[in-house]
Amino acid sequence: MSTDTEQRKLAAIMFTDMVGYSALSQRDDKLALELLEEHRQLLREIFPRFHGTEIKTIGDAFLVEFQSALEAAQCAIEIQRALAKRNADVAPDRRIAVKIGIHIGDVIHRGGDVYGDGVNIASRIEPLAGAGGVCVSMDVERQIRNAVETRFEKLASTELKNISVPMELFRIVLPWEQKSDVRGHKSEIGKNRVASSRSRWVWTGALGLLVMIAVGWWFSHRANHSTPRESASATRTDAAPAIPEKSIAVLPFDNLSDDKSNAYFAEGIQDEILTRLAKIGALKVISRSSTKQYQSKPGNLREIAQQLGVANILEGSVQKAGTAVHVNVQLIKAMTDDHLWAESYDRTLENIFGVEGEIAQAVAEALKAKLSGAEEKLVAEKPTTNAVAYDAYLRGQAAFARVATPETQEAAVSSFDEAVRLDPQFAVAWAALSRIHSRIFFSGNDMTPARRGLAEKALNEAIRLQPNLPETQLARAYFQYWVLRDYPGAFRILQELRASWPNNSEVLDAMALISARLGHWPEALEYSEKAATLNPNDFQPRLQGIQIGLAMRELPRTMALVDRGLQLSPNDRNLIGMKALLLQAEGRLDDAQALLKTAGTGDPGADAAGTALFYQAWVRRDPSMALKVYEQYNQGANTTDPSYLLVWSILQSQAGETGQAQTNLTRVREILEKKYKEQPNNDSIIGPLLFDLAAFGERDETLKLLKEYDTYAASDARIVGTGNEVRARSLVRLGDKQGAIASLEKLMAAPSDPIFGPPMTPALLRLDPDFDSLRGDPRFEKLCQEK
């Protein structure tokens, strides 16, 4: 930029200052210069990772510009994290501490420098951060409060030098800090609001050659076709956090239409209102999947509100007759049953599009929740003006929300296809169409290039029409996650999306799943637990947290999660099965067996109780206990379901029915080899096929496929652990004992996603029949010892 031109823009400005540099220079100038240079190298390595542009250095200080407040805050947190880690390993006199201040405002670029209030305020904020701290203006805090995993300390109103009005300032409380060390300011500490997300339980990969490969794939396949789980109805007995006043749940709207097939329309109106409310950062909004079990106008509002952790309930009804639509809503303070606001809306189908936004804005006003300009725009936005296209979209949403089966998924595709055909400018419908195609691809039902192309085409249309729309960004994140398997890219999109859609019930779930795939297991568990707070009655977030806890082998913590779930749903077979799997992981087979007797009967391929029963039979070397149940649900001798045939053959083989087992394995191999040719990257096919090849002693083919599996799993921490178990079970059956032990050593040294079974533990190594040939080997016996 030439010196005689200037550019004005909105930017986030960061000032950093090295604490104590001047004093150190007077005592030991050589050490001071050495630390200054190290400090500069460390910070300059971090700035570009968050798209920060270094404007200049001022002695021991940096002036850095960012495109967004979020990136500036993330950069500041990463700087302090890196310095805290460095300082933990050096002598006190060699520690480096910096103060960081951030403000977003109007700046002027001129002559390679920046000027303006945005710069001045940031420079005045920085000294208040304290050593190792980050201080931000209120404008920054508003933009990042729902997008970073931190707390904020609100400082007393502060008059800054040469700044005309007092500033509201906040200090970011960094995760490793126990308490604030800012002195002289009265603090109001408030926890960040978290967003929630809803995600289905999709298990990918296989968990072992003989048992967990087969079981993992078998049950993941069947779980996608299972019925909804029992919902929570009992009052919580565990301590609940304080309920925020600006919190709300939207109960199902009554369908008062004479035509009961219009139920999808009432569901759609409710869901669209909830979607808009979820984009308001000042509110806590419960997911629809946690409220769908309730009646529209139940009598026990106080109990429901306590179960959901909210202070307010929105009830409503929809009546559709021809082209006329009547919507009635009322907002109720649950603890007192006071009606805070109520309204009726009469519309025609042609002008129904704005009613959801009007209702959401009225609710926010009644709850005194202030909307930002961006939130007002998102809440008021009309997705389409085509009544027939909107109707098709609502039908698609209703199908999408049902249990994911091939039939419901294709019904959603058909409806969304119709919506975009009728209105090609309908960006929200294009985004929904991309998401459903991506989900079908990821589920393993259709991982063909054609399905991927459909997901990509719909996403490109949504991006072309409205690239910044939250629904578009969510679809983009799922395409990165489910189709491209670009986990870091998907995570970044979701992290930014939380700022504009803070109460979305899917975002945190997806962030938890992706964190696990990136190997960030503790963060994954935290995200999952936060998702459960905004989706308390949905089985999936709770189950996801249990699965991640299992992978981490944090058995006591995971047992507590299961027990809390059983307090809500004492007869849920999945939770009973998960508890049995935990008991098995601890080697408590008698306790697991007693618990499984309380699960009752059910399809053993549809839940965790069936998995636990199968594994119980395997490690107890008593297939009869499982065969009785499986034969009860026998799909018939002519079944072509490879998952069922595979599990059946394992039980038959263990029972000595080798002829029948061999017949089933042959049929499995034929089916899977055909599918593998069509979908070579489908890991849910590779796992069972590996078992089948090894069972037939196909050494070369097994080793070749293992290499392909290793390549596929290399970028996915959830599959890496599983891959080590796959390799161990494969190699031990091929006679490579040392190779199997080496794989087990890797398996036991890191978290391993159990997919749909117990994690491998020392107790299970001592029991699992697959490893009988390794007993007596010192390396193996060492792995069997409890740490």
Q: How far apart are CA 546 and CA 55, in angstroms?
A: 47
| Banded model confidence at residue 593, pLDDT cuts 50, 70, 90 | very high
Position 212 scores a pLDDT of 43
Q: Which amino acid is at 408?
A: T
- Residue 189: count of CB within 10 angstroms of its CB: 12
Beta strands 151-154; 188-191: pairing state: antiparallel
Model confidence at 712, pLDDT cuts 50, 70, 90, reads low
Going through 42-195 in order, the beta strands assigned E by DSSP cover 53-58, 61-66, 98-110, 113-115, 134-137, 151-154, 169-173, 188-191
Tell me, what's the pLDDT at 154?
77
Residue 733 has a pLDDT of 83
* Residue 735 confidence (pLDDT) above 80: yes
547, pLDDT greater than 60:
yes
N- to C-terminal Cα distance for the chain?
Answer: 62
Bridge partners of residue 285, in order along the sequence: 248
338: pLDDT strictly greater than 90: no
- Tally Cβ neighbours within 10 Å of residue 464: 12
361-419, pLDDT tens digit by residue?
999 999 999 888 888 888 888 889 898 999 999 999 988 887 678 888 999 999 999 99
> Which pLDDT belongs to residue 25?
79
- Least confident stretch, 19-28, 288-297, 405-414, 595-604: 288-297
Considering the chain, what is the average pLDDT of its residues?
Answer: 81
Q: Are 551 and 520 in contact (CB under 8 A)?
A: no
Q: In the prediction, which pLDDT does 179 show?
A: 39
Q: Please, what is the Cα angle at 402 between 400 and 403, to 5 degrees?
A: 115
Which residues have a Cβ under 8 Å from the Cβ of 719 and sit 6 or more positions away?
204, 205, 517, 683, 712, 713, 753
pLDDT digits (tens, 9 = 90+) for 623-663: 887 887 777 665 544 466 777 777 777 778 888 888 888 88
Contact assessment for residue 77 and residue 172, using Cβ atoms and an 8 Å cutoff: yes
Q: Reply yes or no on whether the pLDDT at 223 is more than 80.
A: no
pLDDT higher than threshold 70 for residue 584: yes
Residue scoring higher pLDDT (543 or 737) = 737
Beta-carbon count within 10 A of 103 CB: 30
DSSP string over 576-612:
HHHHHHHHHHTT-HHHHHHHHGGG----TTSSHHHHH
The token pair at 461 is 């249309």
**Amino acid 732: pLDDT:** 86
Question: Are 615 and 215 contacting, i.e. CB atoms less than 8 angstroms apart?
Answer: yes
| Helix-helix angle 487-500:470-478, to 10 degrees | 160
Q: How is the chain split into domains, by residue range? A: 6-191, 212-226+623-783, 242-371
Q: Give dist(CA 784, CA 762) in Å, integer.
A: 4
Say which CATH class 242-371 falls into: alpha beta
Beta-strand relationship, 284-285 and 247-250: parallel
Distance CA 534, CA 285 (A): 7
Helix (H) or strand (E) holding 113: strand 113-115
Q: Read off the pLDDT of residues 507-542 as tens digits, 9 standing for 90 and up.
A: 999 999 999 888 888 888 888 888 888 888 777 777
CATH hierarchy code of domain 212-226+623-783: 1.25.40
Residues 186-214 pLDDT 10s:
333 333 322 322 222 222 222 333 344 44
H helices of 244-372, in order, are: 263-277, 288-291, 301-308, 355-366
pLDDT band at 611 (very low <50, low <70, confident <90, very high): confident
Q: Do domains 6-191 and 242-371 have the same CATH topology?
A: no
Given a cut of 90, whether residue 424 has pLDDT beyond it is yes
What is the fold, at CATH topology level, of the domain defined by 6-191? Alpha-Beta Plaits (3.30.70)
| C-alpha to C-alpha distance for 541 and 531, rounded to whole angstroms | 6
